[in-house]
Amino acid sequence: MSKIIDKFDIRGSKTFRKRPEKCPYCECSSIHSVEILGAYEGALMWECDYCHAFLLRFTKRTTEKHLQKAKKLLIDVSNWEELWEQLPN
């Protein structure tokens, strides 16, 4: 069975509960949080702005469990322009 987490360029298994000061691979200090709608409320992982490596916030197993939740979320993008003009619900 294919895992969703395998689609991300995650190197290693070290976890960073808080956003790291710098990327452990290229030492760039520009790291942003990655949030995935329907998977987890808040940052699920981190991404380096320079080398684009994804860094784990949780273990790979826990991250995969969260990503599996997002598979059940259906987003219909056909009417996004119409939704954009409406007030938030």
Q: Quick one: CA dihedral 40, 41, 46, 50, positive or negative?
A: positive
Q: Quick one: CA dihedral 75, 81, 82, 85, positive or negative?
A: positive
For residue range 47-69, what is the model confidence (pLDDT) as tens digits? 999 999 999 999 999 999 999 99
At residue 82, the 3 state secondary structure works out as helix
pTM here is 0.78
Encoded tokens for 7:
């689609």
Contact yes or no for 12/79 (Cβ under 8 A): no
For residue range 19-42, what is the model confidence (pLDDT) as tens digits? 999 999 999 999 999 999 889 999
Q: Examine the pLDDT at 89 and tell me if it is beyond 60.
A: no
Order of strands, edge to edge, in the sheet holding 45-48? 10-15, 54-56, 45-48, 31-34
